[in-house]
Structure 1
Amino acid sequence: MTLRIAFVPGATPDKWARHWRERFREPLELLPVEEADVRALLEDGGVDMAVARLPVPGAGEDLHCVHLYEELPVVVVPTEHVVAGFDEVSAADLADEQFPLGVPSGVPSRMDQLPFGPMTVKDAIEVAASGTGVVVVPMSVARLHHRKDVTHAVVTDLPTTQMALLWPKDRDDERTQAFVGVVRGRTARSSR
């Protein structure tokens, strides 16, 4: 039976999948999913586990949650933007910007926001490339959607994003625990 692991944009489960394939005969399938779909896929059994950004409803309650790593928040701007010359900026430095995905919590916006319609992160980065706005996303997402006409800078005073491995508590078994062991760096000779 195949172990199905979902992962959200920007997550990179390849190293864990490679270690799994080296140590276990059971096949493993990696499935890219949107963040909004993680909970439903775990609930209905569409996937066995997921690498996702917190918060995910039910994490720690009816979902096991292993914290993996934190991601830095970055602002994506066009290459000719004043921020493009800096490696780091503060949230206050973004107060006069337009945000096509909405003003991030913690940014003291001083202006009325343009009425952008719903869009994907990829679409919002295209808007940033045009010079019409800026986008704050985790660094891995900015790298995923990298373009020659945009760059990014770390926003030093916004909270980091927490990545986690999640799976339903009612489907905890040897197979899921074996994958948790791989993720935590256990070798074939180590014990739990």
Structure 2
Amino acid sequence: MFHRIALLAAVSTLAAACASNPSTGSSISADAGGAVPLTGAASATIVVQNLAGNTAWLAEDNLIPQDPVLALVNAIGGNTDNPQGVVITCNAANGGTTMKLGKQPANRVGQSATYKIRTGASMLDVNGKFAANKSGDADFVFPIKQADLIAISKLDAVSVVSDTGEVQWALVKDPAAQVQAKYIGSLKDMPRQTERFMVFCNPK
């Protein structure tokens, strides 16, 4: 019981800090939910893999030297050691958070790019770099503010558009939502697991 109260207190403290410090404010509208309109070049995106119906989010407080992690995993029996394409890690020493979008072209490893996180009401440019992963393809790796991560977790849908205009990933609350993206994952459990992740990530 004490542990549960401590977790709730830590989350409340973090939320208050984000609200009072402009540098930690979200760049994403908290009410930007609903289906993501995909138009123009992005509308030609072909779905390669739809994981919306069998994935969920999970946070783990890994022990040193590892860092806390929040990942899209299999909804049944999943774990962060076997993520399903999207991983957020935290540097517990300073609270910095990094998102890794998997299933990116392996021939772009080492390159830099600007992707866009798109919701129903806002667009956020993110600058990152492609890094090799153990699956043989690449991750697009970029820093993300904790406030933006919290905002994303509360949306109904969010998509990530590459520098070529292709919708690489969409995350949806409703697995039946009609969206176009190469890869579609779920937002199931993301609000609660993001809160846990923030507690793990908050510098001690």
User: What TM-score do you get using the length of structure 1 for normalisation?
Assistant: 0.21
User: What TM-score do you get using the length of structure 2 for normalisation?
Assistant: 0.20
Which protein has the larger Cα radius of gyration, Structure 1 or Structure 2?
A: 1
Choose between structure 1 and 2: higher strand proportion: 2
